[in-house]
Amino acid sequence: MMRNPVFSREMKVGSRSVRLPLIILLFNGILSLVTLLNMYSAVAQVRTTAAIQYSSFMNMYEFVTTIEFILLMFIVPAVTAASISGERERQTLELMLTTQMTASQVVFGKLMSALSTLLLLIVSSFPSVAMVFVYGGITWTDAVSLLLCYITVAFFAGSLGICFSALFKRSTISTVVTYGVLVAVVAGTYFINKFTLSLSAMNINNTAAAYGFGENAVKPTSGGFFYLLLLNPASTFLAILNGQAGGNTPLSKLKSSFGMTATNFVTENWVIVSILIQLALAALLIYIAVRCVEPVKRRRRGNKHK
């Protein structure tokens, strides 16, 4: 199989620069500091009370993995949002496309080089996350599911950044739009559910006042808007953590937060369904990015034959 030339170039340039080790140092430094501070707090509590509370170590695991998830979600767009638009600004994109490289090679090469960096961050951070294995409560299956969640959010956010980098000519605009859409997906789907839940509660209260029955007879719910959370990588991550922390079901906390009581195929397989939907959206975004780069390729070929 022929190796992607863009990927090879990006990996060589990245490995020779000081940027990659600096990112790894800062990323793992933050995680290690958080882990050690939580570990010190748990040990100090043991010395004071002479009792080991294993829930504190689980809380440490949840806190550290959440910090890593947030860092990944905000680092990936910064790496990919300027990948193609940066080539345009340096006036090197058209030079790349005058060669035998296709638009898909350019897009996939840029994306895979960014994801390989993020995969290196995930693997290098495993010792900090694995500290909880010393005290038990987390299995290797849980670690694999968490790793799958990290890879999914990296692929989804990276595809979002590469798509807007291909759509816009300026890196500043593509970065701002990428972060804006990512925040809209993560926070927007949550607040839409909160808003519909509030409307449902108001309607129930008004109906109860009009007909004189108890307000607790019907529970407020966000309804079908709850399934918008399938697009939200944070909801997938929270569902995985809830299942690892001993919840009744991985989705129990999310369902109770928005008044959902129905059980169906989607709610029973929430993590798998949400990951598949996010991967499908990522594939669509990559396709759009390739289509945005292809007209440049065709235009360069047309000028060459004139």
The pLDDT of residue 277 is 95
Q: What is the pLDDT along the chain (306 residues), one digit of tens a residue?
A: 457 788 887 777 776 777 778 888 888 888 888 778 877 777 777 777 766 666 666 777 788 788 888 888 888 888 888 888 888 888 888 778 777 788 888 888 888 888 888 888 888 887 777 776 666 567 777 778 888 888 899 899 999 999 999 998 888 999 999 999 999 999 999 999 889 888 888 887 777 666 655 555 567 788 888 999 999 999 899 888 887 766 555 677 788 888 787 788 888 888 899 999 999 999 999 999 998 887 655 555 555 544
Q: In this structure, are residues 69 and 237 in contact, taking their beta carbons and an 8 Å threshold?
A: yes
* Termini Cα distance of the chain: 34
Q: In this structure, are residues 64 and 129 in contact, taking their beta carbons and an 8 Å threshold?
A: yes
Place of tokens 């998830």: 69
The pLDDT of residue 297 is 53
The pLDDT of residue 135 is 62
Q: Which domain, by its residues, includes 134? A: 5-305
Beta strand spans in 189-304 (E): none
Q: Would you say the pTM of this structure is higher than 0.95? A: no
The pLDDT of residue 1 is 41
The pLDDT of residue 294 is 79
Number of domains in the chain: 1
The pLDDT of residue 48 is 76
Nearest one of 185, 165, 189 to 286, comparing CA atoms: 165
The pLDDT of residue 63 is 80
The pLDDT of residue 178 is 92
The pLDDT of residue 33 is 84
* Distance separating alpha carbons of residues 143 and 156, to the nearest angstrom: 20
* Distance separating alpha carbons of residues 267 and 260, to the nearest angstrom: 10
Question: Residue 150 CB: number of other CB atoms within 10 A?
Answer: 23
